[in-house]
Amino acid sequence: MKFKFLLLAQLGYCGVAFSQAKPKAPINWYLNDPKDSKIYGVCADKAYKLLEGKSAKEVIVAVIDSGVETDHPDLKDVIWTNPGEIPNNGIDDDNNGYIDDVHGWSFLGGPGGDIDAEALELARMYRVEKRYFGNKKENEISSSDKDRFSKYQKIKQDFEKEKAKTEQQFAQLSVLSNYMENVKAVSNGVFSKKTNRAYVPKDDNEKRIKKRVGGILLVYPASELDNQITGAVKSMAGQIKMNSMDADSVRKAIVGDNPYNMTERFYGCNRYEGPDAMHGTHVSGIIAAKRGNGIGIDGIASNAKIMVLRAVPNGDERDKDIANAIRYAADNGAKVINMSFGKYYTPNKSIVDEAIQYAASKDVLLVHAAGNDAKNKDVEDSYPTRLLNNGTKAKNWLEIGASSSKSGSKLLADFSNYGATTVDVFAPGVDIYSTVPDGKYEDA
């Protein structure tokens, strides 16, 4: 999932209330040197001073994500272009199996359009097993299916628990969204600090919401709050819908592939922005937004080119798509692959393992986000992972947790997953101001 739901917590639904607004770090805090500013960035600006006069080599960074706005003013000059492909001629000029893959590829699009929402992997697995077992009781299961049936019962239990949790979160977010729409309704469609302050609550619940919203508007722009809540409601509504549907049939109608044919590679389209490029665009800006151009932000890497690989929907990504995206990156010159996604179930781990090993054979580094669930990864597995089915660990893998701009006990982001043996390093991941679609910038 691409939404951290931090705003939900900050608005009080997780027991956190705003008694006093806390100042935000500077928008470029993640570039700072903590020795100079007491703000815990990565010292990028100081590193560039040390590197003055030295030549740099271009590095292609594949961003496997939700899609990227390739014509964003701060990204258009750093987007990778396939040197062997002639744009829009309908021919696979470089014979790599993908037609008109000028800046990358989407494994989530096809003749029927583009996938936006997807079901949880847990929901897809539950549906497969439910079709297989039907309404059979345990005493009706053959001895050869006993283990599979036992796993099905665990999947069913977890699915029902996750379904209830998602629906509860959606209900809470909907309350916030409805409140904001009520403010707009009496304010000529405007939601702002001023219109929230002027709004007269309809009941005690709205009084509480108004107070919490007022607190967060002391720290975050109203437009950002509005966009985050609107986006989260849309994302969760789509996921709830997909969890209740046959996601495989929807996939076939849109992409046209067989989601259970793990050997299938050459499907998809070159619409690599997709219907919701928020997360991928934000990530790409952090990595490589054009430095020194006088607009927006400076990315961390001045000589990186972003290869766009769309394989992460609003919901859980499919193992097949991730494996194929990794292989595409390795085959087309990427030396680093950024992967800011994850899930807790994986029915086809082996094909992702094989892709990881294939990337290693091409000397490609995989950089993976640890996740945003405040869990200990030493005791709770999530996927993809460096731990392969053969018992070995991928050596071309870095697992990255999220840190804040603060020091001491507040350095670790409160939502970040962690693990003494599973997480390698923590890097800035809170209140990062970066590129977003429509040529804009936001904190996330």
Residue type, 261: N
Mean pLDDT score, 235-264: 93
**Predicted pLDDT of residue 25:** 78
Count of CB atoms situated within 10 Å of the CB of 388: 17
- The β-bridge relationship of strands 336-339 and 109-110 is unpaired
Q: Which of 66-75, 131-140, 212-221, 280-289 has the lowest mean pLDDT?
A: 212-221
Asked if pLDDT for residue 256 goes beyond 60, the answer is yes
Count of CB atoms situated within 10 Å of the CB of 54: 6
Q: Say whether the peptide bond before residue 384 is cis (omega within 30 degrees of 0).
A: yes
| Contact in structure between 382 and 371 (CB atoms under 8 Å) | yes
Count of CB atoms situated within 10 Å of the CB of 154: 9
Mean pLDDT score, 22-30: 79
| Contact in structure between 123 and 242 (CB atoms under 8 Å) | yes
| Contact in structure between 362 and 330 (CB atoms under 8 Å) | yes
- The β-bridge relationship of strands 104-106 and 59-65 is unpaired
**Predicted pLDDT of residue 9:** 43
**Predicted pLDDT of residue 20:** 43
Q: Per-domain residue ranges for the chain?
A: 6-115+259-443, 120-244
Asked if pLDDT for residue 385 goes beyond 90, the answer is yes
- What pTM was computed for the model? 0.90
Asked if pLDDT for residue 15 goes beyond 60, the answer is no
Gap between the Cα atoms of 247 and 124, Å rounded: 7
More confident: 188 or 27: 188
Gap between the Cα atoms of 412 and 405, Å rounded: 9
Asked if pLDDT for residue 3 goes beyond 60, the answer is no
pLDDT band, very low/low/confident/very high, at 23 (cuts 50, 70, 90): low
pLDDT digits (tens, 9 = 90+) for 397-429: 999 999 999 999 999 999 999 999 999 999 999
Strand partners, 436: 440
- The β-bridge relationship of strands 113-114 and 59-65 is unpaired
- Its sign, for the CA torsion 50, 56, 62, 65, is positive
As a whole number of angstroms, the longest Cα–Cα distance in the chain is: 75
pLDDT band, very low/low/confident/very high, at 13 (cuts 50, 70, 90): very low
CATH fold label, 6-115+259-443: Rossmann fold (3.40.50)
| Contact in structure between 254 and 242 (CB atoms under 8 Å) | no
pLDDT digits (tens, 9 = 90+) for 314-342: 999 999 999 999 999 999 999 999 999 99
